[in-house]
Structure 1
Amino acid sequence: MVDLNGTVIAQFLNFFILVAILAKFAYKPICGVMEERKNRIANDLETAEQARTDAEAMKAEYTAQIANARQEAQAIIEKAVKEAEATTKAQVLEVREQIANEKEKARQEIERERDRAMNSLRNEVISLSVAMAGKVVAKDMDSATNTKLIEEAIAKLDGKTIGL
């Protein structure tokens, strides 16, 4: 079966000595390095998870800030539109008021001119009436002369009123 001689025993002995030396000098440092690597990887994973959580929080914050900025911009635009509409309405009212004032002034001016024309016409009629009365008194009136004087006065009056 198995032949045990001195070389096999020496090889077993060398093997166990080598394992003991490796266990003392290599296995513990390798296990320490492996443990350190395991801890570092776990720490890196934890740091990565924290960074991901922070990034998600920052993303949510930026999204909220963007939404807030859009709302503020919309509010500013609406305010500007309302102010523009108010300014436009005020300007339209002012222009309408100016037009009404100008219209009133023109109406008053027309009325004054009409009054002047009427006064002038009255003065003319009075002077014509005085002249006719003077002629009537000066002449001996019969019905043909009276009719002729009335027709002449009407013709003069019609000629002057057409100019109004």
Structure 2
Amino acid sequence: MLTSGLVLGAASGFNGGDILFQLFMFIILLALLKKFAWGPLMGIMKEREEHIANEINAAENSRAEAKQLLEEQRNLLKEARNEASTLIESAKKQGDIQREEIITAARAESERMKEAAKLEIEQQKEKAVTAIREQVASLSVLIASKVIEKELSAEDQEKLINEYIHEAGEER
């Protein structure tokens, strides 16, 4: 029976040496996988993780920079609008000042021309009155000389006429 027990043990398939050999080979396989497969795989995964983290940081930095640039552009645009508004207001004020200066100059020129015209009219009037007086005097002398016919001298007649014209001028 003893032989049959060994045979049964061998036939049942339980062999401790094979199990130990397979367990040893499995441990060696795990060590080789860890060294040649798992280590590099984890290294690649670590590199990928670092690469993705760097890309995320770069994207966040780019977003922050873009936000800052956008804010700067908005501020510059606001300043440009304010400056343009200031320039427009300044131009309007300058235009109003120039308009007033032109109007004032035109009024002054108009007054000057009006005064010059009045002065010229007055001078022409004086010339006309003088010319009329001279003509009246000449006519009066001529008429008086014909009427009086040498009773008065020419000087006395002219003196008399000038006095008459002078009196007529004062009465006006």
CA-CA distance at 1:73 after TM superposition: 1.7
Structure 2 residue aligned with 1:34: 45
- Structure 2 CA distance, aligned partners of 1:118 and 1:97? 31
Q: Which of 54, 58, 69 is the equivalent residue of 1:43?
A: 54
Q: Which residue of 2 aligns with 1:100?
A: 111
Kindly state the Cα deviation for residue 4 of structure 1 after the two structures are TM-superposed.
3.4
- TM-score (normalizing by structure 1): 0.68
Structure 1 counterpart of 2:14? 4
Match of 1:113 among 109, 124, 136: 124
In structure 2, do the counterparts of structure 1 residues 27 and 119 end up closer, same or farther at CA, with 3 Å as the change threshold? same
Measure, in 2, the Cα distance between the counterparts of 1:15 and 1:80. 92
Alignment gaps of 5+ in structure 1: 139-164
Q: Which runs of 4+ in 1 moved over 6 A?
A: none
- Normalised by the size of structure 2, how large is the TM-score? 0.66
Q: Please give the alpha-carbon distance, in whole angstroms, between the structure 1 residues aligned to 2:98 and 2:131.
A: 49
Distance in 2 between residues matched to 1:56 and 1:68, nearest whole Å: 18
Q: Percent identity?
A: 36
Higher relative contact order (CA 8 A, sep 6+): 1
Contiguous gaps of at least 5 residues in structure 2 = 1-11, 150-172
Q: Letter of the aligned partner of 2:111 in structure 1?
A: A
Coordinate RMSD, CA, aligned: 2.6
Structure with the greater alpha carbon radius of gyration:
2
| Structure 1 residue 45, shift from structure 2 partner | 0.9
Structure 1: how far apart are the matches of 2:74 and 2:22?
72
